[in-house]
């Protein structure tokens, strides 16, 4: 019997593929689907930019550090670098520019200028703290996938079509350099951002972390960065509601005679349904349910004593 791990694959379910002579473990991340319960939430300090509270605008954003001013940026004739990001209060419900799906009362602006951004990690600083608070203390844990979602509005201030913003998850190396684990480039297009009153969710996905990954057990960092080229700069993005969640995964598959066993690492207290099929091409509705189990302590033992098949597929679905 051999056991191998292929390249990381994104899918709606965590699953294992079983074959009679070769056992293949596929660690799949839970994708964001409206018909599925979300994975466990990872707390992000000041995720909705509500602090400090402001009656209008504030260039201070608690828990988030601003990217450093590059040498090429000249402050003398325009905005100070620190003014290129800040928080503002959403307008009244009756206002034509009220953001209808704002989380809380505030959002942030981020100017469409190269290298303007905000980041947060274990050692980051905001404008008010003389030393790191270490409030964001999350790590890339082996066996879990990670999913960053940020609400975004484009088009602001006459932003040009094609301007870009990068969302990324990173860790720091021994020299404290940010090393990107996964990133999504968001492009200002009228087909995506058709108005300035509705935040559009944009996501970054890190597949299941393996023990051999350089970022395994490293502190997680979040970066929101303007990556616009100089010929397209101008205008601003509005951002809100930074959400980080971790997803479950199958671990330690074992074959003994006709019995297959594994462990599901997932959210404690959540309910999961185990399903199986011999034909992975079938729709989810055609998979056979093996039962529903509540994950009491964070790990669920899973055993299937069904007879051997030429191939047999499994997945686990988190329930509402």
In a domain, residue 285? The reply is yes
Q: Which helix (H) or strand (E) holds 251?
A: strand 249-256
Q: Which residues contact 312 (CB under 8 A, 6 or more apart)?
A: 17, 18, 260, 276, 277, 278, 306
Do residues 183 and 193 both lie within one domain?
A: yes
| Residue 179 contacts residue 172 (beta carbons within 8 Å) | yes
In a domain, residue 157? The reply is yes
Do residues 66 and 92 both lie within one domain?
A: yes
Question: Sign (positive/negative) of CA torsion 72, 76, 79, 81?
Answer: positive
Query: Pick from 232, 247, 262: which residue ends a domain?
Result: 247
Do residues 156 and 175 both lie within one domain?
A: yes
Q: How far lies 102's CA from each of 41, 142, 150, 172, 174, in Å?
A: 19, 33, 11, 31, 38
Query: Pick from 222, 247, 272: which residue ends a domain?
Result: 247
**What pLDDT score was predicted for residue 314?**
79
> Digits of tens for pLDDT over the chain (320 positions)?
222 222 222 222 333 333 322 222 232 222 222 222 235 789 999 999 999 999 999 999 999 999 999 999 999 778 999 999 999 999 999 999 999 999 999 999 999 999 999 999 999 999 888 899 999 999 999 878 898 999 999 999 999 999 999 999 999 999 999 999 999 999 999 999 999 999 999 999 888 788 899 999 999 999 999 999 999 999 999 999 999 988 776 666 777 777 778 777 766 677 888 888 888 788 878 888 888 888 787 678 888 877 666 677 777 777 77
100: its two tokens: 């209808």
Q: How far lies 226's CA from each of 112, 131, 210, 232, in Å?
A: 6, 26, 30, 11
Domain that residue 116 falls in: 42-247
Do residues 175 and 51 both lie within one domain?
A: yes
**What pLDDT score was predicted for residue 308?**
66
Do residues 269 and 173 both lie within one domain?
A: no
The span from the CA of 92 to the CA of 235, in Å, is 23
**What pLDDT score was predicted for residue 199?**
97
Query: Pick from 196, 212, 247: which residue ends a domain?
Result: 247
The span from the CA of 81 to the CA of 71, in Å, is 11
**What pLDDT score was predicted for residue 39?**
54
Do residues 82 and 155 both lie within one domain?
A: yes
The span from the CA of 297 to the CA of 94, in Å, is 47
Do residues 87 and 180 both lie within one domain?
A: yes
**What pLDDT score was predicted for residue 249?**
66
In a domain, residue 36? The reply is no
Do residues 107 and 255 both lie within one domain?
A: no
Do residues 101 and 232 both lie within one domain?
A: yes
Q: How many domains does the chain have?
A: 2
């Amino acid at each position: 019997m051999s056991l191998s791990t292929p390249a990381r694959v994104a899918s709606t379910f965590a699953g294992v593929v079983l074959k009679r002579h070769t056992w293949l473990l596929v660690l799949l991340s839970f994708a964001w689907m409206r018909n599925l319960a979300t994975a466990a939430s990872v707390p992000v300090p000041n995720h909705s930019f509500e602090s400090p509270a402001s009656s209008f605008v504030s260039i201070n954003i608690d828990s988030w550090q601003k990217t450093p001013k590059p040498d090429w940026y000249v402050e003398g004739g325009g905005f100070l670098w620190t003014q290129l990001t800040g928080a503002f209060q959403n307008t009244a419900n009756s206002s034509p520019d009220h953001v209808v799906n704002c989380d809380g009362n505030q959002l942030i602006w981020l100017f469409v200028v190269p290298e303007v951004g905000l980041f947060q990690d274990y050692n980051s600083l905001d404008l008010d703290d003389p030393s790191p608070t270490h409030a964001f203390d999350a790590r890339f844990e082996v066996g879990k996938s990670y999913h960053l979602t940020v609400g975004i509005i484009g088009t602001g201030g006459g932003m040009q079509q094609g301007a870009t913003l990068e969302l990324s998850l990173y860790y720091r190396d021994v020299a404290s350099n940010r090393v990107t684990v996964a990133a999504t480039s968001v492009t200002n297009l009228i087909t995506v951002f058709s108005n300035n009153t509705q935040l559009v969710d944009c996501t970054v996905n890190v597949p299941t972390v393996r023990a051999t990954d350089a970022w395994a057990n490293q502190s997680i960092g979040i970066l929101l960065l303007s990556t616009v080229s100089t010929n397209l700069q101008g205008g601003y993005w509005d951002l809100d509601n930074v959400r980080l969640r971790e997803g479950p995964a199958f671990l330690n598959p074992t074959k003994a005679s006709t019995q297959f066993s594994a462990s599901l690492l997932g959210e404690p207290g959540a309910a999961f349904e185990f399903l199986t099929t011999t034909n992975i091409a079938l729709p989810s509705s055609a998979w056979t349910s093996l039962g529903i189990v509540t994950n009491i302590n964070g790990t669920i033992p899973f055993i299937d004593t069904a007879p051997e098949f030429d191939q047999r597929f499994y997945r686990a679905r988190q329930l509402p």
